[in-house]
Amino acid sequence: MGAEVIISLLGFGGTLLLVTVGLLNFSVFRKQLRLAQEQIETALTQLEISRKQPEIQLIQRAITETTDHVRVLVEKPYLRPYFYENKPWREGDPVSRDEVYAMAELLLTNFASALMHAAAFPQYPVNGIDRIIMFHLRQSPALRSFLFESFDRYPLTGLTLLILKNDARPEVEDDLRQLVASAGDDEYERRRREGLLRLFKAKEHTGAIRFTKFSMEKGH
């Protein structure tokens, strides 16, 4: 009887040991499973961030392109009325015409870049960008004047800028006719501007930025 009891106890102890080891293994397995799930979630988060990175970069670029001039105006506040208060530059002003036009060039160049990005990338935040450009074109004689004098420097975005500058289609057409007349002996530029006028007339229900896309697709 003593031997049978010992054997029974040993058997029970062995079984208990196997159960304990099994529970330990199960606990380890659960920890490994939880760790694996966390790693998968981390990988998915990183993948989502990576997927959105180009969009984030475009938003950052949009902010830079439409607010870069603010830094200059903070350093030179006397320029602000020429771009926010519809003040024209006149002889005798305390600021030179060259300085006002340099600021106008900076603004228009940044705006043109923003429009090209908006036309090329669907992720680019168009809403708001067009309103900023519209505001400055309508509040700055210097910007409007520089756009007319340097229209050939904005072959891809010039028509869009004209649309944002004006309230109605007839005003855009009038601007284009003036630009055609001012092309002078530059036959290529005159024909290019005539082409823009024809394109604008043909696309009656087209958004402003779509004209930049058309120009980019045609390469002019």
% the chain with pLDDT above 90: 45
The residue that leads in pLDDT, 42 or 211, is 211
How many CA atoms lie within 13 Å of 103's alpha carbon, on the beta-carbon side? 28
- Angle, helices 97-120/158-165, rounded to nearest 10 degrees: 110
Q: In this model, does residue 46 exceed pLDDT 70?
A: no
Average pLDDT over residues 87-104: 94
Which of 59-68, 71-80, 111-120 shows the lowest mean pLDDT across its residues?
59-68
| pTM across the whole model | 0.69
pLDDT of residue 205: 77
What is the residue type of 68? D
